[in-house]
Amino acid sequence: MRFVRNLIPLSVILTLGVGVACKKPAPAPAEPAQPAAVAAPPVTDDGAQKRAEEDAARRKAEADAEAARKAAAAAEMARQNKFKADAEAALKDINFEFDKSDIREVDKAKLQAIADFLKANPDAKIQIAGNCDERGTVEYNLALGERRAHAAQNYLTGLGVAEARLSSISYGKEKPKVDGHDEESWLINRNCQFTLQ
């Protein structure tokens, strides 16, 4: 077994040796045709050049494609960034008075901005989450959060946003935005939050 294994490399060497040995006489006849030998390079150069041209063309095509891809990605990135920035600029919380679900005058511009954003981005869908401060009961606040979310939803549909693009949820007082226990914190926690779906 070991013998056989050793034999294979040996046979390869022998074969290569024979090949080299067979080629060796060839340069001799070609000796007079030295120019031909010189001319030979152009022949090979032709091939090389062709290959080089092809390579270059391929590389250029690849580079162009890559550049196009990059440009497209950059454009997409820019578009997404703009979308995100627009979304972030538009999707601001609105707030409520204690135990109320009426849209405040000061928040109507925010809801208009959300409606404008949705009109400019026809594929965007948002979820409206209604929240309450900690001062009501758990169960009543879940209902109150539901009512706040629907108040915002109804206002937006009134501004021409398709109802199918708006979903709602209520967290009651279960997910306060801030931990404070003062008037300022309570106002922040009585809100509707708008998030992309």
Contact footprint for other proteins (CB under 8 A): 99, 101, 134-140, 142-144, 146-151, 153-154, 168-171, 174-175, 179, 181
94 or 142: whose CB is closer to other proteins?
142
Cβ 139 to other proteins shortest distance, Å: 5
Q: Which residues contact 128 (CB under 8 A, 6 or more apart)?
A: 149, 152, 153, 156, 166, 167, 168, 169, 192, 193, 194
Locate the DSSP E strands across the chain: 94-95, 126-131, 166-172, 191-196
Output the CA angle 108-112-113, nearest 5 degrees.
120
- Minimum CB separation from other proteins for residue 52, in Å? 59
CB of 195 to other proteins, least distance (A): 12
